[in-house]
C-alpha cells in the first residue's frame, strides 16, 4: 500500500499571484490542475454517460455526494460493486465530499433559499438572529438536523427516516464508497449565521477533523487507497479563515478543501488568506463554486480544483454559457448566460456556440429552443454537456496561461 495515495506535484508558480499549475496523482490517474471536477451527486453526472465525459466534456475527475449515496443506493451496495468508479463505469479519479454540506442544505436549510454566497453586504446583520441549526427553526419546515459535539442527526429528504453522521461514520461511509479523494466531516454554516456561531462551528469542525484523521488511519483497509482532505471553514470572517487554515495545516491531511460561505466580493481575499497559510506541497479544492469568474478568482488566490453543480443545473433549465467573443484582462474568454427559452431564439438557426464546444458547434439555438419548449430530454442533455465542456475547458485554459507565463 502506498502510504500517501494522493500526492501533488507543483509544476509552475505564478509570479504575480498565488496561481499555480500542478498535478494531483491519484490511484486512478493524474489530475492536471487547475481543474474543474464534474459533480455526479448520486453517482451519475446528470444525463451524461462516461463516454460523453471523455468525448464531450473532457473532465479528469468526478465528485459524488456522500450524503446522497449513503441514502440511495447505500454505501454498502457501492462497496459491493467494487467502489464508486466501478459502479458508475468511470475509470478516472473520483472524489466524495463529507456529507456536511448536504446535511445542512437538505436538512435545516431546506427550502430556505440559502446558498454558499451571502446575498449582499448586510446579510450578516439581517440574518444575525437566525441560527438555522436550531431544532425549533428546523421543525418549522418539517426538516430536522440537530448538531451536537459528537455529530449530526438528520432526516432523509427521501423518506423522512432518521440517520446520524459522526466524523467516524462519514469516513466509514466514504471508505465504502471508495473514491480516491475523501473529505473530513465538517459543519458547513450558512452565510446568515452570526460570528459567534461561525466560530463555534469552526472549532467543532477542527475537532471533527482530528477525529476524521484518526478514523481514516485506524480503519484504513489495505485494500483501500484513498487520500483525505481537511476542510477549512470560518465563513466570511478573515480572522476565522486564518485560524482555520493554521489549525488544519498542522494536521496530517493529503490535501485541503475550502468550504462554507463567502460573499462574491471578498471571495478572492478569503482564499488568499487561507492559501497563504496552507502548505504549498498539498492540493487545495474549493468546494461547490464554479462560475467562470469565481474559478478565476480561486486560481489567482491559490486553489487547484473546483466543483459545482451549476453547469448541469443551469443546463437542465435551459441556461447556457455562451462565449461572447470578448476576452478579459488575462486573455480568457468572457461568457454570458442565455436562457434558450427566450422568444428571440425560436428562429435563430445559428449554432449556440461559435467556438470550440463540440455540442454547441453542432446544434442550433432554434433546435435547442424547440427541445426545451417540447420538454424533450435531449435539450437538458445537450445543454448540460455544453455547459460542462465550457467550464472544464475554461479551467484548462487558465492552466495553459499559467504554464505559458501569461
Q: C-beta of 395: minimal distance to its own copies in Å?
A: 24
Q: How far is CA 277 from the centre of its chain?
A: 21
Q: Which is the catalytic residue, given 97, 180, 254, 304? A: 97
Provide DSSP, 21-64.
Answer: EEEEEETTEEEEESEEEEE-TTSS-TT--HHHIIIII--S-EEE
Q: C-beta of 144: minimal distance to its own copies in Å?
A: 22
The residue within the footprint of its own copies, chosen from 197, 229, 363, 394 (CB under 8 A), is: 363
Q: C-beta of 99: minimal distance to its own copies in Å?
A: 17
**Quick check: 245 and 201 in contact, CB under 8 A?**
no
Q: Is 337 in the site for its own copies (CB under 8 A)?
A: no
The residue within the footprint of its own copies, chosen from 17, 44, 128, 225 (CB under 8 A), is: 44
Interface region with its own copies, contact rule CB under 8 A, candidates 58-66, 79-87, 189-197, 249-257 = 79-87
Q: 13 or 42: whose CB is closer to its own copies?
A: 42
The DSSP call for residue 223 is T
The residue within the footprint of its own copies, chosen from 48, 118, 209, 232 (CB under 8 A), is: 48
Q: How far is CA 82 from CA 90, 185, 224, 228, 280, in A?
A: 12, 23, 11, 19, 33
Handedness of CA 117, 120, 122, 128 (dihedral sign): negative
Q: 50 or 171: whose CB is closer to its own copies?
A: 50
Q: Is 80 in the site for its own copies (CB under 8 A)?
A: yes
The residue within the footprint of its own copies, chosen from 125, 250, 349, 405 (CB under 8 A), is: 349
Collect all residues with Cβ–Cβ distance below 8 Å to 218 and sequence separation of at least 6: none
CA nearest to 187, candidates 236, 250, 140, 133: 133
Helices assigned H by DSSP within 72-194:
75-80, 84-88, 100-102, 123-127, 135-140, 167-177
- Residue 349 exposed, middle or buried by CB count within 10 Å (0-12, 13-18, 19+): exposed
The residue within the footprint of its own copies, chosen from 2, 4, 54, 82 (CB under 8 A), is: 82
Q: Is 72 in the site for its own copies (CB under 8 A)?
A: yes
C-alpha cell at 303: 486553489
C-alpha cell at 343: 422568444
The DSSP call for residue 277 is H
- Give the DSSP H/E element, type plus range, for residue 201: helix 195-218
Q: Is 367 in the site for its own copies (CB under 8 A)?
A: yes
Q: C-beta of 396: minimal distance to its own copies in Å?
A: 22
Q: Is 38 in the site for its own copies (CB under 8 A)?
A: no
The residue within the footprint of its own copies, chosen from 4, 373, 403, 406 (CB under 8 A), is: 373
Site for its own copies in 84-123 (CB under 8 A): 87-89
Q: C-beta of 46: minimal distance to its own copies in Å?
A: 6
Query: Given phi > 0 = left and psi -120 to 50 = alpha, else beta, which region is 96?
Result: beta
Q: 65 or 261: whose CB is closer to its own copies?
A: 65
Q: 242 or 370: whose CB is closer to its own copies?
A: 370
Q: C-beta of 342: minimal distance to its own copies in Å?
A: 15
C-alpha cell at 321: 454559457
The residue within the footprint of its own copies, chosen from 380, 387, 390, 394 (CB under 8 A), is: 380
Q: 80 or 336: whose CB is closer to its own copies?
A: 80
Q: Which is the catalytic residue, given 186, 254, 307, 353? A: 307
**Quick check: 241 and 232 in contact, CB under 8 A?**
yes
Is there a catalytic annotation at residue 307? yes
The residue within the footprint of its own copies, chosen from 23, 238, 338, 366 (CB under 8 A), is: 366
Is there a catalytic annotation at residue 97? yes
CA nearest to 192, candidates 286, 108, 136: 108
**Residues annotated catalytic, as ranges:** 97, 307
Return residues touching its own copies (CB under 8 A): 42-51, 55, 72-73, 77, 80-82, 87-89, 346-347, 349, 359, 362-364, 366-367, 369-371, 373-374, 376-378, 380-382
Amino acid at each position: 500500500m502506498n502510504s500517501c495515495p494522493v500526492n501533488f506535484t507543483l509544476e509552475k508558480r505564478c509570479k504575480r499571484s498565488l496561481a499555480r499549475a500542478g498535478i494531483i496523482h491519484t490511484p486512478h490517474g493524474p489530475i492536471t490542475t487547475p481543474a474543474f471536477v464534474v459533480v455526479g451527486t448520486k453517482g451519475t453526472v446528470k444525463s451524461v454517460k462516461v463516454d460523453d465525459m471523455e468525448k464531450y466534456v473532457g473532465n479528469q475527475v468526478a465528485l459524488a455526494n456522500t450524503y446522497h449515496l449513503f441514502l440511495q443506493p447505500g454505501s454498502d451496495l457501492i462497496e459491493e460493486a467494487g467502489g464508486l468508479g466501478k459502479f458508475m463505469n468511470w475509470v478516472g479519479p473520483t472524489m466524495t465530499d463529507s456529507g456536511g454540506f448536504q446535511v445542512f442544505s437538505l436538512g435545516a436549510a431546506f427550502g430556505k433559499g440559502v446558498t454558499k454566497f451571502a446575498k449582499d453586504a448586510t446579510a450578516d446583520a439581517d440574518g444575525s438572529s437566525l441560527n438555522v441549526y436550531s431544532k425549533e427553526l428546523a421543525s418549522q419546515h418539517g426538516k430536522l438536523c440537530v448538531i451536537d459535539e459528537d455529530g449530526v442527526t438528520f432526516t432523509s429528504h427521501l423518506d423522512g427516516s432518521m440517520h446520524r453522521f459522526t466524523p467516524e461514520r462519514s469516513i466509514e461511509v466514504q471508505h465504502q464508497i471508495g473514491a480516491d479523494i475523501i473529505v473530513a466531516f465538517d459543519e458547513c454554516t450558512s452565510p446568515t449565521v452570526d460570528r459567534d456561531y461561525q466560530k463555534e462551528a469552526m472549532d467543532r469542525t477542527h475537532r471533527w477533523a482530528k477525529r476524521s484523521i484518526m478514523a481514516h488511519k485506524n480503519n484504513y483497509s489495505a485494500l483501500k487507497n484513498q487520500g483525505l482532505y481537511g476542510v477549512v471553514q470560518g465563513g466570511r470572517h478573515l480572522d476565522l479563515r486564518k485560524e482555520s487554515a493554521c489549525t488544519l495545516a498542522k494536521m496530517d491531511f493529503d490535501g485541503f478543501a475550502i468550504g462554507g460561505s463567502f460573499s462574491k466580493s471578498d471571495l478572492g481575499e478569503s482564499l488568499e488568506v487561507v492559501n497563504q497559510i496552507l502548505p504549498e506541497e498539498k492540493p487545495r479544492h474549493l468546494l461547490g463554486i464554479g462560475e467562470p469568474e469565481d474559478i478565476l478568482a480561486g486560481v489567482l488566490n491559490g486553489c487547484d480544483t473546483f466543483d459545482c453543480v451549476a453547469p448541469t443545473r443551469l443546463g437542465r433549465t435551459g441556461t447556457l454559457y455562451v462565449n461572447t467573443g470578448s476576452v478579459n484582462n488575462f486573455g480568457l474568454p468572457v461568457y454570458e448566460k442565455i436562457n434558450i427559452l427566450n422568444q428571440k431564439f425560436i428562429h435563430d438557426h445559428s449554432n449556440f456556440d461559435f467556438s470550440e464546444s463540440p455540442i454547441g458547434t453542432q446544434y442550433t439555438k432554434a433546435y435547442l429552443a424547440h427541445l426545451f419548449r417540447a420538454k424533450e430530454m435531449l435539450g437538458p442533455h445537450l445543454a448540460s454537456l455544453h455547459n460542462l465542456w465550457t467550464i472544464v475547458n475554461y479551467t484548462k485554459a487558465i492552466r495553459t496561461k499559467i504554464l505559458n507565463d501569461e
